[in-house]
Amino acid sequence: TLQGGHFTSGTADNSTNRDGNLGTSYGWTRIDSADYIGGDYTFSDSLTFGLHAAKYEDVWNQYYADLYHFWGLSDETSLLTSINYYQTKDTGDATAGDIDNDTFSAALALTSGAHTITFAHQQVNGDTPFDYLGVSGFSGADNDGKLYNPAGSIWLANSSQWCDFNAPGEKSYKLQYDLDASSFGVPGLSFMTRYVKGTDGDGTHADVNGAYSLYTGMQDGKEWERD
C-alpha cells in the first residue's frame, strides 16, 4: 500500500476553522504546509512493515518505520510484537531551532483468551522532545501564546491519555492489562488499566534560541500516569 499527502490546514476538535492552522504540538511553531509519502508491505498474515517520510516546511524532516509481528501460540494464545521508530531533523529555515532526535518504542502484547498483558519500552534520544503535528482551533493561531492541540499523529507505544512520555532523553516503561468481556457473554464491553513511568528527562542541551528552550531547565525529569 502506497500513500502520500499534502496538508495546509486542519480542523480541531473545538473549531470548524480551516485557515492554515497547523503547528507543532510541543514547540508551538506554525507550519505552512506538511507533506508525506510512504508505504506499508505485508510479508505474510503475521508480519507487516511500514516506512514513511514527512516534510514540515522550514521546520523539520521526519522519518518513520514500524514493524508488527503476530505469533499464534495456540488457539487462544498469541504474542504481538510492535516496533516504532522516528528520526527528526531540522530543515530549511529551521523556525523551531536545532532538532536532531531519534525516538523508538517496542511493545510485547500477550493475549490469552479474553486477557491481554502488554509491556512496552520507549526512549527519546536527543536534546529536544519528540514532537509531532498539531491543529489549532483558533483562527490564525501561531506560537505567540496559542497552542496547537495534538492531532493524534503519533505512533509510539507509551503515548497515553495525558502524557506522551516524549521529553528529551526520556526513558519510559508501560504495563497494561486489557479485558475483552465478549468472552463472558457481554459483546462490546471492554476494560483497560495501565501504568506508565518515565525517567531521565534532560533538556539542558536544547537550543536556547529555539522553540524548545523551555526544556533547558529540565534535568533528571520524571513523570508517571495511571489510567
Note the residue count of the chain: 227
**Residue in 35, 40, 58, 102 annotated catalytic:** 58
Say whether 6 is catalytic: yes
Q: Are 210 and 227 in contact (CB under 8 A)?
A: no
From 69, 153, 178, 213, active-site residue: 153
Task: Tell the burial category of 124 from Cβ atoms under 10 Å away from its Cβ (0-12, 13-18, 19+).
Answer: buried
For strands 47-56 and 22-24, give the pairing: unpaired
Distance between CA atoms of residues 17 and 104, nearest Å: 33
Give the residue from 34, 21, 28 showing the smallest Cα distance to 60: 34
Rounded to the nearest 5 degrees, what angle is found at the Cα of 154, between the Cα atoms of 138 and 112? 135
Q: Is 190 a catalytic residue?
A: no
Task: Tell me whether strands 171-180 and 2-7 are parallel, antiparallel or unpaired.
Answer: unpaired
Is residue 58 annotated as a catalytic residue, yes or no?
yes
According to DSSP H, which parts of 70-125 are helical?
none
Q: Which of 62, 32, 220 is nearest to 141 (CA)?
A: 32
User: Which residues are catalytic, by number?
Assistant: 6, 58, 153
